[in-house]
Amino acid sequence: MEPSLSPTARLEQEPVGRLDHIDLITVKLPFVAPFGTSVYVWTHKEALLMRLESGGLIVWSECVADPDPFYFHETTGTARHIIKDFLLPLVEPGLTFGELEARFGHVRGHGMAKAAIENGLLILRATEKGIPLHELLGRPARKIPSGLSIGLKDSPAELLAAVEKAVAKKYHRIKMKIKKGQDVDRVRAVRERFPDIKLMVDANGDYSLADTERLKQLDAFDLMMIEQPLSYHDIYQHSLLQKELRTALCLDESIHSLDDAAAAIALGACRVINIKQGRVGGLMESMRIARYAADRGLGVWSGGMDETGIGRAVNIHLQTAEEFNLPGDTSETSIYFNEDIVEPGVVLDPEGYISIPGGAGIGVKVLPDRLMKWAIHMERLR
Ligand code: OSB
Ligand code: MG
């Protein structure tokens, strides 16, 4: 294939494999501790996993949707419905990934459902070729910087303790969740105690333009960025807010596609983009957004949905792309789970980096006993 093609253009020409069987398995894993945000407090990760079987190979992918529509409108329930009734019937061997994406384009939205299939088929393709996923994406291996997302805590003391642990682990940047009433004072407390750490905040859309003066107070703390301060649905108002703030804004919830990213950049609505591969419909659109945004001087990082080891591994492979120029929300498995469903888990090296799991595909193995222990639903689609 022509070496001049971009990695995504090359991927578009790869053939989609034959699917002998496809199963959806829902697991419900307890979190080590509740994860609090301005929109909800999660105590478990309920994940919709996809098992793809082809010519004796078995690979897995993960739909990043939650069972509830509190962070994003898609849920494990809507994803199951869209996958089963609309997307899977469009998957045929002999298609290229570009053609598959075009077919999926007929279904409006539902990026998390689309991503589960597209990523699964890309992982299958890499596994068939005997290469790691990042190599199929056209990227050499590199050590991935780590980042932690610290949920809302009951007290400043608990927050400081969590930050202290993360600093000791050498996380490359620390994000703390904020919400109205748990913002300026909390950030000040962390900043006073840790003057030099790379720190950012995520509001998950808790504020409105009426809170501009309050948000301006955050300019005093040398934050890397403020993630999604305004509505989950907004781009324009963020562009007005960005003009009032010195601190960079980062969009998460509002960005569902390359077109959204282009609109946000054209409007000056953010200086950083959090790319969640599920939220934007999969790895190929993620790479397009990353290229587009990095070429225009934006910060780009890979977000997380507190995934099991399957989705976590996908995010790690994606971040081999050099357009991901900031540490993302990729933390150690043990931050969320005592018992994950895969091996090996994610661990940080002494400098806080994450290494790419070796071997073909995503490089992690699903443990059948763990899967059975935590599964709450199973369904064969094909
Ligand atoms: O807003 O980035 C977010 C988790 C679930 C839903 C939304 C968000 C998050 C996180 C955690 O911040 C990211 C992670 O550690 O995977
Ligand atoms: Mg966020």
| CA distance linking residue 247 with residue 257, whole number of Å | 24
Residue nearest to atom 6 of ligand 1 (CA): 305
What's CA 382's distance to the chain center, in Å? 28
Which residue do the tokens 């959806």 mark?
24
Atom of ligand 1 nearest to the CA of 274: 2
Whether 3 shows a pLDDT value over 70: the answer reads no
Cβ-contact 101, 115 below 8 angstroms:
no
Atom 12 of ligand 1, residue of closest alpha carbon: 149
Mean pLDDT over 355-373 rounds to 97
DSSP 158-184: HHHHHHHHHHHTT-SEEEEE-BTTBSH
Q: Quick one: pLDDT band at residue 5, thresholds 50, 70, 90?
A: confident
The pLDDT value given to residue 191? 98
Residue 177 annotated in active site: yes
37 Cα to the center of ligand 1, angstroms: 9
Q: How far is the CA of 261 from the centre of ligand 1 (A)?
A: 19
The answer to whether 300 touches 294, Cβ cutoff 8 Å, is yes
Q: How many CA within 13 A on the CB side of residue 287?
A: 22
Ligand nearest to the CA of 255: 2
Q: Is 329 helix (H, G, I), strand (E, B) or coil?
A: coil
Asked whether residue 326 carries a pLDDT value surpassing 60, the answer given is yes
At residue 176 the predicted structure's pLDDT band, cuts being 50, 70 and 90, is very high
Residues having CB within 6 Å of any atom of ligand 1: 71, 149, 202, 204, 252, 303-306, 329, 331
Write out the DSSP string of 93-147: TT-BHHHHHHHHTTS-S-HHHHHHHHHHHHHHHHHHHT-BHHHHTT----PEE-E
Q: 228 pLDDT exceeds 80?
A: yes
Long-range own/partner contacts, residues 161-168 (CB < 8 A, 24 or more apart): 163/190, 163/193, 163/194, 163/197, 164/193, 164/194, 167/194, 167/197
Identify which ligand lies nearest to the alpha carbon of 71: 1
66 C-alpha to ligand 2 centroid (Å): 14
Q: How far apart are CA 52 and CA 320, in angstroms?
A: 24
What contacts 90, CB < 8 A, 6 or more positions away?
100, 103, 104, 106
Cα(247) to centroid of ligand 2, in Å?
A: 16
Neighbours of 124 (CB within 10 A): 24
Please tell me the distance between residue 88's alpha carbon and the centre of ligand 1 in angstroms: 28
pLDDT band at 290 (very low <50, low <70, confident <90, very high): very high
User: Does the active-site annotation cover 45?
Assistant: no
Q: Percent of the chain, pLDDT > 70?
A: 99
Q: Where are the beta strands (DSSP E) in the chain?
A: 21-36, 41-54, 57-63, 144-145, 147-150, 173-177, 199-202, 226-227, 249-251, 272-275, 299-302, 342-343, 353-354, 365-366, 375-380
**pLDDT tens across 278-288, in order?**
999 999 999 99
pLDDT at 2: 54
Is the confidence at residue 4, as pLDDT, over 80? no
Encoded tokens for 39:
């929109």
Using CA atoms, how far residue 58 sits from 120, 127, 180, 185, in Å, is 10, 9, 46, 50
> What is the atom index within ligand 1 of the atom nearest the CA of 148?
15
Which tokens sit at 93?
């061997």
Which of 169, 177, 225, 305 for mutating ligand 1's site (highest number of atoms within 8 Å of CB)? 305
Query: Could you tell me which of 292, 319, 281, 291 has the C-alpha nearest to residue 303?
Result: 319
pLDDT of 219: 98
CB atoms within 10 A of CB 325: 15
Q: Which ligand places an atom closest to the C-alpha of 36?
A: 1
> Considering only CA atoms, which residue is closest to atom 8 of ligand 1?
305
Instruction: Reply yes or no on whether the pLDDT at 1 is more than 80.
Output: no
For residues 336 and 362, give the distance between their C-alpha atoms in angstroms, rounded to a whole number.
Answer: 20
Which atom of ligand 1 lies at the shortest distance from residue 304's CA? 16
Q: Is 192 exposed, middle or buried (0-12, 13-18, 19+ CB in 10 A)?
A: exposed
pLDDT tens digits, 57-95: 999 999 999 999 999 999 999 999 999 999 999 999 999
Q: Distance between CA atoms of 55 and 68, rounded to whole angstroms?
A: 35
Nearest ligand 1 atom to alpha carbon 151: 12
Mean pLDDT, residues 317-321: 96
